[in-house]
Amino acid sequence: MLPASRPLRDRDGSPLWAALAVMSIAAVAFAAGLPNGRLSDDALLLQERLIDVRAPSLAALFGQSYWADLHDSGLYRPLALVALSAERSLFGLSNVPYHIVNLALHALCSLLALRLLRRFTVAPVAIAGALLFAAHPIHAEAVTTIYGQQDLLAALFFLISLTLYLDAGSGASSIRVAIIGLSFLASLLCKEQGILLPVLAAFLRFQEQPAHDRRFQFQPRDVALLLAFGLYICLRIFALGPDVVPSGDASVVHGYPWWARVNVVIVSVGTYLRLLVFPWGQTTYYGHLRDSLFGLPLIESAAILAAVALFGPLQRWLGKGTIAFAYAFLATTLLPVANVLPIGVVVAERCLYLPALAVSLVIAASVYCAVPARRHAPAVVAAALVMAGLVLSTRVAFRWRTPLRHWETTAADHPRSAGAHARFALFLLSDLGQKRAPPRDPGYGRADAAIERALQINPRQPDGWHARGVLALMRGDCAAAIPALQRALTLRPADPEIGRLLGACR
Whether the predicted pLDDT of 456 surpasses 50: yes
> Looking at per-residue confidence, does 6 or 165 come out higher?
165
Q: How far is residue 219 from each of residues 5, 114, 173, 197, measured CA to CA in Å? A: 22, 26, 12, 15
Residue 168 corresponds to which amino acid?
A
At residue 8, the pLDDT reads 32
At residue 2, the pLDDT reads 52
From the number of C-beta atoms within 10 Å of its C-beta (0-12, 13-18, 19+), residue 439 rates as exposed
* CA 447/CA 339 separation, integer angstroms: 34
Fold of 403-505: 1.25.40
> Looking at per-residue confidence, does 374 or 220 come out higher?
220
At residue 56, the pLDDT reads 53
Band (pLDDT 50/70/90 cuts) for residue 9 is: very low
* CA 54/CA 88 separation, integer angstroms: 13
At residue 354, the pLDDT reads 98
Whether the predicted pLDDT of 189 surpasses 60: yes
Q: H or E element: which one contains 217?
A: none
* CA 398/CA 43 separation, integer angstroms: 19
195 closest CA partner among 233, 246, 221: 233
Per residue in 346-367, pLDDT tens?
999 999 999 999 999 999 999 9
Q: What is the mean pLDDT of residues 161-173?
A: 86
Among 21-35, 212-226, 426-440, the range of highest mean pLDDT? 21-35
Q: Name the percent of the chain in helix, strand, coil, to the closest 5.
A: 70, 0, 30
464 closest CA partner among 500, 431, 438, 491: 491
Q: How far is residue 388 from each of residues 18, 102, 130, 279, measured CA to CA in Å? A: 19, 22, 15, 11
Whether 485 and 505 have beta carbons less than 8 Å apart is answered as yes
Of 235-244, 331-340, 443-452, minimum mean pLDDT range: 235-244
Per residue in 45-68, pLDDT tens?
998 888 864 455 788 889 888 998
Whether the predicted pLDDT of 69 surpasses 90: no
Whether the predicted pLDDT of 285 surpasses 90: yes
Band (pLDDT 50/70/90 cuts) for residue 392 is: very high
Percent of the chain beyond pLDDT 70? 94
420 closest CA partner among 255, 284, 266, 315: 284
Domain ranges, ordered by start, for the chain: 14-207+219-399, 403-505
At residue 94, the pLDDT reads 93
* CA 290/CA 83 separation, integer angstroms: 35
At residue 52, the pLDDT reads 64
At residue 50, the pLDDT reads 87
Whether 193 and 333 have beta carbons less than 8 Å apart is answered as yes
Whether the predicted pLDDT of 73 surpasses 80: no
Q: How far does CA 483 lie from the centroid of its chain? A: 37
Residue 353 corresponds to which amino acid?
Y
Band (pLDDT 50/70/90 cuts) for residue 126 is: very high
Per residue in 416-446, pLDDT tens?
999 999 999 999 999 999 999 998 999 999 9
Q: How far is residue 187 from each of residues 12, 154, 162, 233, measured CA to CA in Å? A: 30, 4, 11, 13
Band (pLDDT 50/70/90 cuts) for residue 254 is: confident
Q: What is the mean pLDDT of residues 401-405?
A: 95
At residue 14, the pLDDT reads 63
At residue 504, the pLDDT reads 78
Whether the predicted pLDDT of 459 surpasses 90: yes
Task: For the chain, give the mean pLDDT.
Answer: 90
* CA 239/CA 66 separation, integer angstroms: 10
7 closest CA partner among 155, 123, 159, 128: 123
Q: What is the mean pLDDT of residues 379-393?
A: 96
Among 6-10, 207-211, 289-293, the range of highest mean pLDDT? 289-293
Total count of residues recorded for the chain: 506
Q: What is the mean pLDDT of residues 270-285?
A: 96
| DSSP secondary structure string for all residues of 337-380 | GTTSS--S-S--GGGGTTHHHHHHHHHHHHHHHHS--STTHHHH
